[in-house]
Amino acid sequence: MLNETTVKALVSAATEARNKSYSPYSGFSVGAALLTNDGKIFTGANIESASFSPTVCAERVAFFTAVHNGERNFSAIAVVGGKSNEEISSYCAPCGVCRQVMCEFCSPDFQVILYDGKEPRIFTLSQLLPESFVKANME
């Protein structure tokens, strides 16, 4: 389980990362901070495109950056999102595609921390994506 200090550090890193969002089309900025099992933090922010579909969510930027740096074992991610240039005031849950990417690299007890500017809410990956399709389904 995550302790309070770790949750705060991840929320703070995600909030800082959110400042790097490139989201001129939605006006919605998201930040994510991903924790490896050995305590490293990798961050991401959403990056949009004029043709829309190439847009990548903050969570996937964090995951792909970490995986590209050789990381494969993750314990938690914090996600914060809201209207650009406004403080966080509601929870931003990961989209379905990001949940699937989490399933690729994480166990069902991976922790997903959401934050509304007041109270963190913590879910397991299996709560957010039950009955997921993974590599084992093809073996």
Q: Identify which of residues 36 and 55 has a Cβ nearer to ligand THU in the complex.
A: 55
Do 121 and 129 form a contact (C-beta atoms < 8 A)?
Answer: no
Give the DSSP letter of residue 137: G
* Residue 104 is among the residues annotated as catalytic for this protein: no
Cβ contacts of 106 within 8 Å, gap of 6 or more? 74, 125
Q: Identify which of residues 1 and 32 has a Cβ nearer to ligand THU in the complex.
A: 32
- Among candidate residues 59, 71, 87, 131, the one labeled active-site is 59
CB of 106 vs ligand THU, minimal distance in Å: 16
Q: Identify which of residues 43 and 46 has a Cβ nearer to ligand THU in the complex.
A: 46
Instruction: Count Cβ atoms within 10 A of the Cβ of residue 1 and give its class: 0-12 exposed, 13-18 middle, 19 or more buried.
Output: exposed
CB of 35 vs ligand THU, minimal distance in Å: 17
CB of 57 vs ligand THU, minimal distance in Å: 3
Q: Is 105 helix (H, G, I), strand (E, B) or coil?
A: helix
Catalytic residues: 59
